[in-house]
Structures are given as structure tokens and as C-alpha cells.
Structure 1
Amino acid sequence: MKKILGIFVAVSFLVFVLPSCSFTLNGASTVGLKTIYVGYFDNNAPFVVSNLSQNFTEALKARIRSTTNLNIIQNQQADAVLTGTITGYSIAPVSIQATTGNTAPIAGASALTITVEVKYVNNVDKKLSYEQSFSEPGNFTGDLTGSKQDNLITTLNLALTEDIFNKAFASW
């Protein structure tokens, strides 16, 4: 009988207590936070991709929704506020391909780098607030167009949102 009671208590703890905690099992801490505002990240990079702002902002919101119990609200009176801008979208060669004759060398591989300036304000614990630039490069070969560009941007958005999330909630 004691064994059954012990199992019942353990299961009750897992079902009723853990979901109400202010943290998740991935090491992220949202202690004291119930709401967050995520502003639209305008694209102020010299080279503008039409859907980058929308896709980045939604990727950041999705990361927060999937990993925390924070409610994303539509005003800056939230317990935490994440705002910023996309400041860089650049392509640079990372390796040169050998050529023959009088032809100029060409890029064998290139890197797309996306840079985002982020301001995180924790209104519950101000010392956890930060302003920081995050950059993420991704290598590719050939032309960067169509689905190849979309897939690389998605990959870089996921890496950037992971870095931003970890800085805000995991103190990494």
C-alpha cells in the first residue's frame, strides 16, 4: 500500500506541480515572468530580403512558445520585452576555386551572414537585461536563390533565435 501511495504522490507531483513551475527542463529560466512582448524586427541591412523580418520575428516567437510557458502579448507592458533590428545580411567568399587561363578566380564557397541587434529588458530582474549583436554565418556553394536561399535563411534564423533565447533565459 505504501508503494502505491508513493507512486501516486510522485505522479501527482509530475502532473500538477512541474507544469506550473517558472522554468523548463532544458535549463531555461523564466522565474517571475508570465508575459513577454516580442517586437517586429525591421530589416535595416543594406541588402533587404523581403520576408526576412517576418520570418525572423515569427521564428523567435515560436522558440519562446515551444520552450517556455510565457504568454506573448501585444504591448510593451510585459514582464519581459525583446526588440531589435536586422542590421546585416551579407555574402562573402570563404574559399576560392582555381581557374585556368586568363579567367579571374571565382568563389568555391560563400557564406551568408545575418546579424541582428537585440535589446532584452527583463522588467522583473533588470540585471538580466542586455543589448547585444548576434551574427550567424552559413556556407553555400553556387548561386543563392529560391529555395536554397530560403532554406539557408531558415537555418540561420533557428541558430540566431537559439542564441538570443539562451542569452535571455539560460544566461549562456
Structure 2
Amino acid sequence: MKHIKYIILPVLFFAINGCSVYNFTGAKPINAKTFQVNYFQNNADLIEPGIERKFTQDLQNLIQNQTNLSLTNSGGDLLYEGEITDYRVSPMTATADQRAAQNRLTITVNVRFTNKNKEEDDFEKRFSFFYDFPGTNQLVGSQLTSALDVIFERITQDIFNESLAKW
């Protein structure tokens, strides 16, 4: 019975110590206190007004909610910048009378990430995701809002994972 404490203490120590590398969001500890998200311009051939503002805010909110970093307007330790490069609606399936039964909205964002404290983490990469919707629906109003929410949630999480979680 006396020997159990000699076994439990090291196991408990390693378990607690092993968990300190990651926090509950999966982000690794980094040598940064601030982050900056520059405005993502919409350079897609097909322009949907306002999506660049929504994307920029969604990325800022995700990083603020999943880290203890402070958002700054300039001079951030971590810098996210880029542009929306593609906004496309494509037919996915057709009906017997050659009409679209299902359409797909695809958005692609080019991101440049800079870590001023660790240059080997810097990258430039494209992130893309899609949303399928019935061919009989127009992509406006609540349908467009739902599509943007799904697409931007996935793209911003992918950017977070690439830049901070390293998954």
C-alpha cells in the first residue's frame, strides 16, 4: 500500500505536465501576446458585397475566443492578411429537363500568416470550402447568411489550425 503513492505521484505528474503543452482549444503555447487581422479584400471575379468584412470579423472573433491573445490594429506579434480570391456558384446535379437540381457556393481565401517571433511558422496558403443548396433557391437573404456562416466557420477554423494549433 505504501508503494502505490510512489507510482501514482509520477503518473499524476506526467499526466498534468503532458497536458500543459496544449490548451482546451488545441492551440500550442506561443511566444506572442497580440494578433492583427488586416482587412481581407474581395478580389473574386464575382463580387458579393460585404463578405470581406464578415470574413475579417469572423477570423478576429475566432482567434479572440480560442486564445488569450489581444487584438491590435498594428504591430501585432501575429499577422493575418490576404484576400478572397474566388466566389463561385456552380451547378452540382441536373434534373431531367437540364436545370440545376443542386448548386454549390465555393469560396476561396488566400492567407498570409506572419509570426514576428518565429519566422519558420510563416506561410501563404489558400483555404477553400463550399455550401450546397437546392437549385430552386436563390442565394440571397437567410440562405446566403447560412451559406457564409458554414463556409467561414470552416475556413477560419482551418486557418486557426494551420497557424496556431499545427494540426
Compute the TM-score of the two structures, normalised by the length of structure 1: 0.81
Aligned length: 147
Q: Report the counterpart of residue 51 of structure 2 in structure 1.
A: 52
Instruction: Tell me the distance in 2 between the aligned counterparts of 1:23 and 1:72.
Output: 21
CA positional deviation for 1:171:
1.1
Contact 1:22 1:33 in 2 (8 A): no
> How much is the aligned-residue C-alpha RMSD, in angstroms?
1.6
Compute the TM-score of the two structures, normalised by the length of structure 2: 0.83
Say which SS state the counterpart of residue 121 (structure 1) adopts.
strand
Paired residues for 1:50-129 under 5 Å: 50-75=49-74, 77-99=75-97, 105-129=98-122
Equivalent position amino acid for 2:107 in 1: I
CA positional deviation for 1:154:
1.5
Moved beyond 6 Å, runs of 4+: none
Please, which runs of 5 or more residues in structure 2 have no aligned partner?
1-19
Identity %: 32
Contact 1:22 1:32 in 2 (8 A): no
Please, which runs of 5 or more residues in structure 1 have no aligned partner?
1-20, 100-104
Instruction: Tell me the distance in 2 between the aligned counterparts of 1:51 and 1:161.
Output: 17
Instruction: Tell me the distance in 2 between the aligned counterparts of 1:109 and 1:62.
Output: 32
Equivalent position amino acid for 2:159 in 1: I
Within the candidate set 134, 149, 160, 2:127 is matched to 134
Equivalent position amino acid for 1:161 in 2: T
CA positional deviation for 1:26:
2.1
Instruction: Tell me the distance in 2 between the aligned counterparts of 1:95 and 1:44.
Output: 28
Deviation digits for residues 62-111 of structure 1, max 9, x if unmatched? 10010000011000x22110001001100111111112xxxxx0111010
